[in-house]
Structure 1
Amino acid sequence: MVPSASKPRQVFALLALRGDRVVQAGTLMEELWGDDIPRSASTTLQTYVLHIRYKIAEALPPGSGRSPKELLATCFGGYLLKLGAGRFDLREFEEQATAGGIAYESGDLQAATAIFDRALSLWDGGALVDLPHGRILKRDVVSMEHLRMSVLEQRLDACLRLGRHAASLPELSALVDEHDLHEGFRAQFMLALYRTGNVGRALEEFHRLRAKLVAELGIEPSARLRRLHQAILSGDPMPEPGSADFQRLIG
């Protein structure tokens, strides 16, 4: 059902991400043309919407009783794509992330990790990697990636609280390599190393991050990471991740 031409696909992506909400025509035009909106933009946008409706018509099963204009409705000043109760990965991810957070906050860490795993399994690579991004979709992608990283960090925190330090090391090692300035993943990696007896490596990870922060951004690690480093350096007993004592240590 997804259009093949790039600009109609951008329109469809933006309508889908804001499913069941009106997207103003001006927002769609800004996504497509930025500040260089042509005089023909309104007519061209209508053509793209018509193209999407053709695709919807092709995808509708016979006898569905629904029309493309009903599913992609013209509203005052914009358009609305009706998703209804159908499966939509982003919406499902957000629902699972919320449910996982509730389980985590209630202390049911086993359930939280299982729910977070289901949420993360909905991701297959980066968000919207197969189409061009204007400024609106770029912001949406950043927001989605931020949420995914937050869920991933919370799941790993739950795993560490369950004592899965050794099992978490390979994933954390890959994450700090991929996101080499992310202090949350680095703190978790340091803790997992420390808890598995790799004290020297845990201290090395702090200095690796510090060197990159100073060289690339001209800043020192945050106070929370410095406190974690000092605790490891001193051989202090490390409180459980997520506990009040741990939050006081790194918060």
Structure 2
Amino acid sequence: MDIGVLGPCQVTLAGASVVPTAIKPRKVLALLAMYPDQVVAVSRLIEELWGANPPRSVQTTLQTYILQVRNLIGAALAADPGGNPGCGPKDILVTSANGYMLDTQGGLVDAVEAERLAAIGHRALSVGDHQTAATRFRQALALWRGPVLVDVQVGPLLEADVIRLEECRLSILSQRIESDLALGMHHEILGELAGLAARHTTHERLQAQLMLALYRAGRRGSALETYQRLRITLGRELGLDPSPTLQGLQRAMLSDDPELEYAGAGTGPGALAVGRSG
């Protein structure tokens, strides 16, 4: 079973989708897919579906939704001529003492794979191997097919997971940009960075990366304007000043510090460590 949550909900078995069209059964499957090969407690499923106001028939209704998903799994299994004849729907959507588990049986889970690739990228970045880091971060980002679970009406638990994964994507993206800057790709990523900085106006790391890319592209004035916009935005929206790292970057630009220039793909000024992300 392959699972995709980094975009529209995708759960396929033997190439066939087992995602229900009805809202609540789809939500049940989405929560199980968010935690593959782990038992999701009945209480968590109930909270996701109905919040603090479950119906009197909550247990029966939940079992009905589970049955609907199992019926789709059963249809996919029946249509697979090369499948395991001893494997049934209850072997894939497993009932436990206090909940249910989606058994992937070794299938691909996009969120897990993205995390694995990002971890390799982080390790490469930490030792100055920016080419490997950039490659792995790009591979991780390519697994996002759109906003997380965009076709699911998420409840309180899935909403938290959606926020977590979207923040994870932004973190990986920022790390990839750091690697690109260390590789001297400031011209190539300027457009992308400008768009990101416009959407994330208080994200200090992205703003710092845009400043550095502009400076290295010979646009010191635009880089300093970026700093001033950030200073005003942080003060107006959060009552904060730019972090010491950003202030130091501005001072370095004002003095044309040669350390800011691209000096080859190694550790150094391409690796920006900004405290607040906004």
TM-score (norm 2): 0.85
Match of 2:121 in 1: 100
Q: Which runs of 5+ in 2 are unaligned?
A: 1-17
SS at structure 2 position matched to 1:80: strand
Counterpart residue number, 2:84: 64
User: Could you tell me which of 165, 171, 177 is aligned with 1:156?
Assistant: 177
Match of 2:67 among 33, 50, 54: 50
Unmatched tracts of structure 1, length 5 or more? none
The yes-or-no answer on 1:123 pairing with 2:144 is yes
1:26 matches 2:43: yes
- Report if aligned partners of 1:228, 1:249 keep a CA contact under 8 Å in 2: no
What's the offset of the Cα at 1:204?
0.4
1:100-155 CA distances to partner (integer Å, 9 max, x unpaired)?
22222232211211111111111122111111111100110111111111111111
Count of paired positions: 251
**TM-aligned CA distance change 1:50 to 1:249, over 3 Å:** closer
Shift of 1:246: 7.1
Q: Map 1:166-205 onto structure 2 (within 5 A).
A: 166-205=187-226
1: CA distance, partners of 2:56 / 2:243: 50
- Higher percent of residues as helix: 1
Is the 8 Å Cα contact of residues 179 and 271 (structure 2) preserved in structure 1?
Answer: no
Secondary structure of 2:94's partner? strand
Contact 2:128 2:267 in 1 (8 A): no
Aligned partners of 1:18 and 1:249: how far apart in 2?
32
Distance, in Å, in 2 between the alignment partners of 1:38 and 1:184 is 46
AA of the residue aligned to 2:113: E
Which structure has more RCO (C-alpha within 8 Å, separation ≥ 6)? 2
SS of 1:230's partner is helix
CA contact (8 A) 1:23 1:80 kept: yes
Does the Cα contact within 8 Å between 1:120 and 1:152 map onto a contact in 2? yes
> 1:20, CA displacement in angstroms?
0.3
Offset from partner CA, 1:178-218 (integer Å, 9 cap, x none) = 22221111100000111111110000001111222222222
Task: Check whether the contact 1:24–1:77 (CA below 8 A) recurs between aligned residues.
Answer: yes
Quote how far apart the aligned CAs of 1:28 are.
0.7
Identity of aligned residues (%): 46
Task: Check the 8 A contact 1:30/1:135 in 2, yes or no.
Answer: yes
Counterpart check, 1:220 vs 2:241:
yes
Residue identity opposite 1:215 in structure 2? R
Greater CA drift, 55-64 or 142-151:
55-64
Aligned partner of 2:52 in structure 1 is 35
Aligned to 1:138: 159
Once the two structures are superposed, residues 63-107 of structure 1 have per-residue CA deviations (whole angstroms, 9 ceiling, x without a partner) of: 432100000000011001001211221111111111222222232
- The verdict on how the C-alpha distance between 1:250 and 1:45 changes in structure 2, with shifts beyond 3 A counting, is closer
Contact 1:127 1:145 in 2 (8 A): yes
Deviation at 1:250, TM superposition (A): 5.1
Instruction: Give the whole-Å Cα distance in 2 for the aligned partners of 1:189 and 1:33.
Output: 43
Distance of 2:273 and 2:108 partners within structure 1: 41
2:143 is aligned with what amino acid?
L
CA–CA distance in 1 between the matches of 2:149 and 2:241? 34
